[in-house]
Structure formats: C-alpha cells, structure tokens
C-alpha cells in the first residue's frame, strides 16, 4: 500500500506541474483515489482538512475584494508616489508599498491593486513599466511571509503549527518570522536602489484617486485587530481565526446588499472568492493526510536525517535553500503543505523544537518564487498585466531583477532566523 501511495503522490505532483490550470481538479481527483484505494480511511477525510485555513482564506479574499473596490489602496499609492522626487524613488516606494499591503492582503490582489499605478506613471513619463511592476510582484511575495494572513503559505503554517497572528511577530519571547522578513526587505531594498540608481527622471502626479467607501478599510483593519486579540485567548476553538474572517466578510456583504439593494452585487462578491485555490487546498489536505497515514512522510524525514545526520545547522540550511530551489519552479502552496509534516517529523526525530525549521521552510518557499516568472502566482499576474498592455517580458529579464532580490532577501532572513532561533 505504501508503494501505491507514493506512486500516486508523485503522479499528483507531476500532473500539478504539467497542468497548472486544472490543478484543483487534479488534487481533488488524487484525494478521491487515496480514499477509494483505502489509503486514507473515509472516516478521517473531514479531519484531514484544516477548515480554519479554508475559512480564513475565503474570508480574507472577500474582504480584500471589497477593499480594492473602495479605491483606498489606489489613493494610498497616489499619495505616496506624489511625495517621491524621481522614478528611482517612485519604483522603490511602490515596491515597499506593495510589500506593506501584501503583509495583510493576498499577493495577487496586491499586484492587481498597485500595478495600475505603475502603469499610469510609466505612460505619463513615456518609460517602460516592466521594472516597476516586476518589483511590485517580488516585493509582494517577500512580505507575504511576514504575517498570518499575508500569504496562503503563512496561513498553512499557522494552521499546522497552531500559531496565531502575534506568533508571527513575537513567539516564545523572541522575534518571529515577521522580523526575519523585514531584515530581508532592508537588504533587498539596497539591491533595488543599486539596480535603479540611474533612473532620475522627475515625477509628479496631477490627480489622485477618490475613495468611494471607507467601510471596507474598517473591515480590513477590524480583521487584523480581531486576529491579534484572538492571539491572546487561550483554549479557543480551532476555527476561531476562520470565523473572524468569514464573519467580517458576512457583515461587509450584508451591508453592501442593504446599501445597493442589488442581489447581483452580492452574487458578484461571492463569485470573486478564489474557489480554485480553496478546492486545491482541500484536495491537498486529503492527499497529505493519505501519505502521512501510509508512512511516506516519516520516510521522507528519515531521508533528510540520513543526509544531514544530527547536524541542525545543515538540516536547516538544506530546508531553506532546497525550498528556494523548488519554489522557483513549482507552486509553493502544495510544496509547503507537503513539507510541513515532514519538517515536524524531522524536528521530533532530532529532539528539537520545530519552529526554527518551520520558519526556514516558510522563508525559502515564499521567497524562492521570486527567482523565475513562474515561481509565484503574483509574478504570473504581473506579467499578464504587462502583456495586456503590450509589454512582453522574457525569463532572463525577470531573473535580472528577481535573482539578486531573492538571494539578498533569503540570505538576510536565513541568517536572522538561525541566530535568533538556533
């Protein structure tokens, strides 16, 4: 049975790589096979799915949709850019702004918010928007690891390790992964300053965006504050964070329905939730439950231990940089979901707390996607926006910005995590 489970797991990953547009259906189909073949007992399927993660993602996506349509992110970007003296600082400011937004908003949504500002600036100045939009995408991916709600990989870690919002910032009295990401941000900003050192064209915006509704901003801030408050509650239900996110989304949807008196608007909001990602995660949770049940996770962890022995630094280094390499070419959601139980098993076998390795995994898997244009959904989205506006970006051109940025950010985060958590 173990051989069948391993073969099915490998086949699933191969198909996810070959057919990214239908990966949700591949994951669900594989999950069904794990159950039909008896690898994962049908009675354990519901428990294998982390419903807190599913509810958090669904709720956050809906709130972000309301936030984008309120025009608040566009206004914030306009105000920021209007204070910048030239293109170099405008590019850096947009990248940092995208990163700040992405710590609380999905990376793809962040790119969809901020990229139009960069396009508008480029058109007014008659310059290429390619460098600026690439930097927006890679900065979004960087800060996605900073908080519990910043990226799907962060939500996965929070669910698996039972971590709350504040645990990403301070954990067991030590700085959490939030500060490792900020260390990466500082170092990578100097890299960007060097890359754009010659872009000194003056800049000034004549018009600023107008905010249509402030309530979605209140909802987003309320979600963050409630998640922080929930961090201090002991013995709370496992789906508390998910209920906070979906509950606030429900309030936003009901208010919009009352305000517009248009049921089609309500249906539009519900349709904007990324059900594809949610279905992918449901399938992956079941598949991973199956390989855990079959003993494959234990075998993978044994392989890591065989290579590294009892050297904690070596195992930490392998996890970080292998994650960077894999995430440059494959989606980091299935990779992270698969590796979390592996890392937990490694930590148990070595008799160490798992958080050093968890943070290393998240750093490598989230930031590694910045090396190539296919390494992260935000990158694909950014290049799609450029393509629609008549700008084709080669892989080498993307790597010119993504590789030095990634190496700088990962190295800084890698060293920070080791010295704080080893």
Which contacts (CB < 8 Å, 24+ apart) does range 403-407 have? 403/371, 404/191, 404/195, 405/135, 405/138, 405/142, 405/188, 405/191, 405/192, 405/370, 406/138, 406/324, 406/367, 406/368, 406/370, 406/371
The answer for residues whose C-beta is within 8 angstroms of residue 421's C-beta and 6 or more apart is 174, 355, 356, 359
pLDDT given at position 157: 92
Beta bridge partners of 175: 170
Distance (Å, rounded) from C-alpha 128 to C-alpha 391? 8
pLDDT (tens digit, 0 to 9) for every residue of the chain, 422 residues total?
Answer: 788 888 998 898 888 878 877 888 998 999 999 999 998 898 888 988 888 888 888 888 888 788 878 888 778 877 777 788 888 888 888 899 889 988 887 787 788 778 877 887 787 777 888 988 999 999 988 898 899 888 888 888 998 998 999 999 999 999 999 999 999 999 999 998 898 888 887 877 667 778 878 998 899 889 888 888 888 888 788 888 889 989 999 999 999 888 888 787 777 778 877 788 888 889 888 988 888 888 888 888 888 888 877 899 999 999 999 999 888 877 778 888 888 999 999 998 888 889 999 999 999 988 888 888 877 778 888 888 888 888 888 888 888 999 999 999 999 999 999 999 98
pLDDT computed for residue 35 by the predictor? 92
Residue 61: burial class (beta carbons within 10 Å; 0-12, 13-18, 19+) = buried
Separation between Cα atoms, residue 104 and residue 336, nearest integer Å: 19
- The CA–CA distances, whole Å, from 340 to 5, 355, 417 equal 18, 11, 17
| Structure-block tokens of residue 347 | 């930590």
Give the pLDDT of residue 212. 78
Q: What is the pLDDT of residue 421?
A: 92
Residues 6+ apart with CB under 8 A from 142: 99, 102, 181, 184, 185, 188, 366, 367, 370, 405, 409
pLDDT of res. 206: 66
pTM: 0.82
Give pLDDT, residue 189.
93
**For residue 410, what pLDDT is reported?**
94
Cβ burial 121-141 (10 Å sphere, 16+ → b, else e): bbeebeeebbbbbbbbbbbbb
Q: What b/e readout covers 360-396, taking b as 16+ CB neighbours within 10 angstroms?
A: bbbbbbbbbbbbbbbbbbbbbbbbebbeeeeeebeee
Give residue limits of the domains in the chain.
Answer: 2-421
C-alpha distance across the termini of the chain, in Å? 38
Q: How many CB atoms lie within 10 A of CB 206?
A: 6
Q: Are 236 and 86 in contact (CB under 8 A)?
A: no
Return the closest-CA partner of residue 372 out of 411, 332, 414, 334: 332
């Amino acid at each position: 049975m173990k051989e069948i489970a391993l073969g099915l797991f490998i086949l699933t990953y191969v198909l996810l790589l070959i057919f990214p547009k239908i990966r949700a259906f591949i994951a669900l189909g594989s999950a069904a096979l794990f159950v039909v073949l008896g690898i994962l007992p049908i009675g354990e399927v519901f428990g294998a799915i982390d419903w807190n993660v599913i509810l958090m993602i669904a709720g956050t996506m809906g709130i972000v949709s309301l936030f984008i349509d309120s025009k608040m992110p566009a206004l914030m970007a306009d105000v920021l850019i209007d204070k910048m003296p030239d293109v170099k600082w405008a590019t850096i400011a947009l990248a940092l702004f995208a990163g700040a937004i992405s710590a609380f908003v999905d990376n793809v949504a962040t790119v969809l918010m901020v990229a139009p500002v960069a396009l508008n600036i480029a058109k007014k100045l008659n310059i290429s928007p390619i460098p600026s939009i690439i930097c927006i995408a890679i900065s979004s991916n960087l800060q996605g690891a900073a908080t519990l709600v910043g990226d799907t990989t962060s939500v996965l870690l929070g669910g698996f390790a039972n971590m709350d919002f504040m645990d990403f910032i301070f954990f067991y009295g030590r700085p959490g992964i939030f500060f490792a990401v900020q260390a990466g941000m500082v170092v990578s900003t100097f890299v960007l300053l060097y890359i754009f050192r010659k872009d000194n064209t003056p800049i000034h915006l004549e018009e600023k965006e107008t905010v249509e509704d402030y309530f979605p901003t209140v909802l987003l801030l309320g979600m963050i504050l409630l998640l922080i408050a929930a961090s201090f509650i002991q013995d709370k239900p496992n789906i508390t964070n998910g209920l906070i996110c979906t509950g606030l989304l429900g309030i936003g949807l009901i208010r919009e329905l009352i305000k517009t008196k248009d049921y089609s608007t309500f249906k539009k909001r519900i349709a904007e939730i990324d059900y594809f990602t949610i279905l992918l995660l449901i399938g992956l949770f079941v598949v991973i439950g199956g390989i855990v049940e079959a003993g494959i996770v234990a075998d993978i962890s044994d392989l890591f231990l065989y290579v590294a022995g009892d050297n904690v630094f070596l195992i930490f280094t392998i996890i970080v940089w292998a994650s960077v390499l894999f995430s440059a070419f494959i989606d980091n959601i299935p990779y992270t979901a698969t590796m979390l139980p592996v890392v937990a098993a490694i930590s148990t076998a070595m008799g160490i707390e798992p958080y050093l390795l968890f943070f290393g995994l998240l750093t490598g898997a989230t930031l590694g996607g910045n090396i190539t244009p296919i390494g992260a959904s935000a990158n694909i989205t950014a290049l799609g926006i450029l393509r629609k506006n008549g700008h084709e970006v080669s892989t080498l051109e993307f790597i010119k910005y993504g590789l030095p940025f990634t190496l700088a950010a990962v190295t800084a985060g890698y060293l920070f995590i080791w010295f704080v958590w080893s």
